[in-house]
């Protein structure tokens, strides 16, 4: 945990320094400490102060919080479903948020105000999750596999609706805006975006970590967990609600960013083991590091062309995930 915290701090400093306007690392650290009213004696220009504090920090901090939300949500949902291949999008959160955002762009709601798009995305995520939970409860099924199948079905339905709106888009600008948002990115993030997601993501992370011991018990099976005093149904509802809150908040400001909630918990599990008391907070830190560094790659690797952070995450995450699967298969091939 100490190592991951130090790595996250180093990633934030690195991401705040590199870019078209290079700022030396020591000056970035000096700017950070100056904001904390600590004078280091290292001089920096007004231009460097403006670039770091008003342009890069909001983007870096937004990426760190989005990555933390996706990482810890992925770890929690893999524990809830007892399936290491589950990610936050399986519960309909990402597709619901995507549908809400695409509706805002398609019907022109995004022109009402700057918060119309993220608000529409968040509402879409909430509606999708509530619909899945209502149907699951109405089915009177206690099987977690049924919930997973409902999520997959709703994802397919919402993806079809998105494709219909994309196919019937009236102009190229609208179409580009929709595709740009669906790819996920952190461009033009401001301090307003940081303030918008800071409270729900921070509160969601803290509350989710508090369920680490109960998640450990649920890994043994519902009956074993219930006999140990865990209210399995209520715990499952709370964890799904927290994961939906964090993922919906993240997707509302970043668009669809995949593989963070799938790959990061796998990598962290190899380091910390399966104990959710450590896996959950470590996945939050790992997700933050992963997305911050992916965003650095997105804006530096092909300068002056800027890639989407979601595209970079997919390009990095997919090979990593394949390698992890091959490694696990080889590890389980013995007697």
What pLDDT score was predicted for residue 148? Answer: 79
Contact 287, 72 (CB under 8 A): yes
**Is 61 a residue whose pLDDT tops 80?**
yes
What pLDDT score was predicted for residue 330? Answer: 61
> H helices of 91-183, where?
93-106, 116-138, 144-167, 172-183
**Mean pLDDT score of the chain:** 86
- Residue 315 buriedness (CB in 10 A; 0-12 / 13-18 / 19+): middle
Task: List the domain range (segments joined by +) for residue 134.
Answer: 2-331
> H helices of 191-275, where?
191-209, 212-218, 222-227, 232-254, 260-272
Mean pLDDT, range 258-265, rounded to an integer: 89
**Is 142 a residue whose pLDDT tops 60?**
yes
What pLDDT score was predicted for residue 335? Answer: 37
Mean pLDDT, range 288-306, rounded to an integer: 87
**Is 332 a residue whose pLDDT tops 70?**
no
What pLDDT score was predicted for residue 168? Answer: 82
What pLDDT score was predicted for residue 215? Answer: 92
Measure the CA–CA gap between 263 and 74, rounded to whole angstroms.
9
Spell out where 18-84 has E strands.
Answer: none
Who wins on pLDDT, 174 or 16? Answer: 16
Measure the CA–CA gap between 74 and 4, rounded to whole angstroms.
18
**Is 130 a residue whose pLDDT tops 60?**
yes
What pLDDT score was predicted for residue 208? Answer: 95
What pLDDT score was predicted for residue 329? Answer: 62
In 3D, which of 43, 60, 64, 131 has the Cα closest to residue 91? 131
User: CA end-to-end span of the chain, whole Å?
Assistant: 34
What pLDDT score was predicted for residue 334? Answer: 41
Mean pLDDT, range 63-92, rounded to an integer: 87
Token readout for 90 is: 């399986």
Per mean pLDDT, which range of 54-58, 82-86, 191-195 is the poorest?
82-86
* Count of alpha carbons within 13 angstroms of residue 3, beta-carbon side: 4
* Burial call 150-162: b when 16+ CB within 10 Å, e when fewer: bbeebbeebeeeb
What pLDDT score was predicted for residue 268? Answer: 92
111 secondary structure, DSSP code: G
Mean pLDDT, range 113-119, rounded to an integer: 76
Token readout for 212 is: 């680490």
Measure the CA–CA gap between 54 and 4, rounded to whole angstroms.
26
| CATH number for 7 | 1.10.3470.10
pLDDT over 90, % of the chain: 29
In 3D, which of 200, 185, 197 has the Cα closest to residue 256? 185
Contact 235, 246 (CB under 8 A): no
Measure the CA–CA gap between 52 and 23, rounded to whole angstroms.
8
In 3D, which of 89, 216, 206 has the Cα closest to residue 148? 89
What pLDDT score was predicted for residue 333? Answer: 42
Per mean pLDDT, which range of 64-73, 108-117, 217-226, 275-284 is the poorest?
108-117
Q: How far is CA 277 from the centre of its chain?
A: 20
Who wins on pLDDT, 19 or 295? Answer: 295
**Is 70 a residue whose pLDDT tops 50?**
yes
Q: How many domains does the chain have?
A: 1
Measure the CA–CA gap between 264 and 242, rounded to whole angstroms.
18
The tens digit of pLDDT for each residue in 2-12 reads 999 999 999 99
Measure the CA–CA gap between 83 and 168, rounded to whole angstroms.
37
The tens digit of pLDDT for each residue in 266-296 reads 889 888 888 999 999 999 999 999 999 999 9
pLDDT over 70, % of the chain: 97
- Provide the pLDDT confidence category of residue 60 given band limits of 50, 70 and 90: very high
Rounded to the nearest 5 degrees, what angle is found at the Cα of 86, between the Cα atoms of 150 and 62?
110
């Amino acid at each position: 945990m100490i190592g991951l915290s130090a790595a996250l701090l180093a990633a934030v400093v690195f991401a705040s320094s590199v870019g078209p306007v290079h700022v030396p690392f020591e000056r970035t650290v000096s700017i950070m400490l100056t904001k904390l009213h600590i004078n280091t004696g290292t001089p920096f220009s007004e231009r460097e102060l403006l670039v770091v504090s008003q342009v890069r920090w909001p983007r870096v901090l937004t990426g760190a919080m989005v990555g933390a939300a996706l990482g810890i949500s992925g770890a929690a949902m893999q524990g809830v479903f007892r399936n290491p291949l589950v990610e936050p999008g399986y519960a309909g959160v990402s597709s619901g948020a995507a549908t809400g955002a695409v509706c805002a762009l398609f019907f022109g709601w995004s022109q009402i105000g700057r918060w119309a798009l993220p608000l529409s995305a968040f509402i879409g995520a909430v509606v999708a999750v509530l619909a899945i939970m209502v149907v699951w409860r109405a089915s009177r099924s206690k099987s977690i596999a049924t919930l997973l199948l409902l999520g997959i079905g709703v994802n397919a339905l919402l993806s079809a609706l998105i494709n219909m709106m994309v196919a019937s888009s009236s102009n190229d600008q609208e179409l580009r805006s929709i595709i740009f948002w669906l790819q996920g990115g952190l461009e033009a993030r401001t301090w307003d975006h940081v303030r918008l997601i800071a409270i729900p993501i921070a509160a969601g992370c803290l509350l989710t970590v508090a369920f680490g011991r109960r998640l450990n018990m649920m890994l043994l099976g519902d009956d074993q967990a219930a006999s140990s005093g865990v209210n399995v149904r209520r715990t499952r509802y709370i964890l799904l609600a927290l994961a939906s809150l964090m993922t919906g908040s993240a997707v509302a400001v970043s668009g669809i960013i995949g593989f963070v909630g799938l790959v990061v918990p796998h990598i962290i599990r190899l380091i910390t083991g399966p104990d959710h008391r450590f896996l959950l907070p470590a996945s939050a830190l790992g997700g933050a590091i992963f997305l911050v560094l992916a965003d650095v790659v997105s804006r530096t690797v092909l300068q002056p062309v800027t890639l989407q952070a979601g595209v970079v995450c997919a390009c990095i995450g997919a090979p990593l995930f394949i390698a992890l699967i091959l490694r696990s298969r080889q590890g389980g091939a013995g007697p």
